[in-house]
Amino acid sequence: MPTITTSDGVEIFYKDWGSGQPIVFSHGWPLTADDWDAQMTFFLQHGYRVIAHDRRGHGRSDQVGFGNDMAHWVADLAALTEHLGLRDAVHIGHSTGGGEVARYVSRYQDRVAKAVLVASLTPNMVQSEQNPGGQPREWFEAVQAGVRGNRSQFYRDVPEGPFYGFNRPGAEPSEAVIANWWRQGMAGSAQAHYETVNSWLEDYSDDLRNITVPVLVMHGDDDQIVPYASSVPRAVDLLANGSLKTYPGYPHGMLTTHADVLNPDLLAFVRS
């Protein structure tokens, strides 16, 4: 398997397909590079080079007991892009991966052409007086309790319910989609998944303020994980060159459930 070894000795697995302008994908919690299959195959067919990695502690990357935080994830991504010699790249991040992309782009803009934040936790998702639409503290504690408890069952409950909106009236759950989410999650480290929740408590406002390249923000207004009101309007306001595309009724996992809609929208932005 293709891997790089970081400066602190962690092997990071990555996929690197095709040629042309590079598009780099950063996955959400508790998933892997495989969550981008629909996007990677789509852009590959349109003449782009596509790259995605498993974050440390996830999937096929080393499950080390340290560095499960945003600072290390961004350093790992920087090491990967430097190893591959990527320039003029488009970075696309989903959920937790959106925080990774925002912080990476804010620090390495000389390597970046554009960025996309899909259902991203940026600028912050914790409920407060300044962010009344965010998730309450108890929600984050419940996620950590789910990881500590019967993780296998919890990793069925999340995709069966709020992640893909399969708990909404009239929804038609896909067993294949649910099983694929469970498969990716169970391949990772319980410790890394538990500690990842701490990154959801961070504020990424300064990262967004520092970004000058074009950024597309894509969010479903029925996102039950990162509520639309929590992140989207404030994120676009903080970006110097940001634009917003809202998807009525779409869930957090819309890249999977509505890839037929989002992929052409992503391509239009990349080409613009």
Per residue in 235-272, pLDDT tens? 999 999 999 999 999 999 999 999 999 999 999 999 99
Residue ranges of domains in the chain: 3-271
Residue 150 has pLDDT above 90, yes or no: yes
Catalytic residue among 207, 223, 231, 258: 223
Catalytic residue among 95, 199, 230, 231: 95
* Residue matched to tokens 């899909």: 118
Would the pTM of this model clear 0.85, i.e. be above it? yes
Q: Which of 58, 256, 119 is nearest to 176 (CA)?
A: 256
The sign of the CA dihedral 61, 65, 69, 73 is negative
Residue 3 has pLDDT above 80, yes or no: yes
Return phi, psi of residue 163, to 5°.
-60, -45
- 223 has catalytic annotation: yes
Looking at residue 214, what is its pLDDT?
Answer: 98
Mean local confidence (pLDDT), 66-89: 97
Per residue in 16-27, pLDDT tens? 999 999 999 999
Residue 232 has pLDDT above 90, yes or no: no
Catalytic residue among 53, 94, 252, 258: 252
Looking at residue 229, what is its pLDDT?
Answer: 92
CB atoms within 10 A of CB 113: 16
Mean local confidence (pLDDT), 72-83: 98
- 95 has catalytic annotation: yes
Looking at residue 82, what is its pLDDT?
Answer: 97
Tokens of 225: 């994980």
Looking at residue 55, what is its pLDDT?
Answer: 98
Mean local confidence (pLDDT), 81-102: 98
* Residue matched to tokens 């996309």: 116
We find that the CATH architecture of domain 3-271 is 3-Layer(aba) Sandwich (3.40)
Q: Which of 54, 70, 64 is nearest to 15 (CA)?
A: 54
Looking at residue 104, what is its pLDDT?
Answer: 98
The per-residue pLDDT of the chain, averaged, comes to: 97
Looking at residue 271, what is its pLDDT?
Answer: 98
Looking at residue 231, what is its pLDDT?
Answer: 83
CB crowding 180-207: b at 16 or more within 10 Å, else e: bbbebbebbbeebbbbbbebbebebbeb
Mean local confidence (pLDDT), 182-209: 98
Looking at residue 1, what is its pLDDT?
Answer: 77
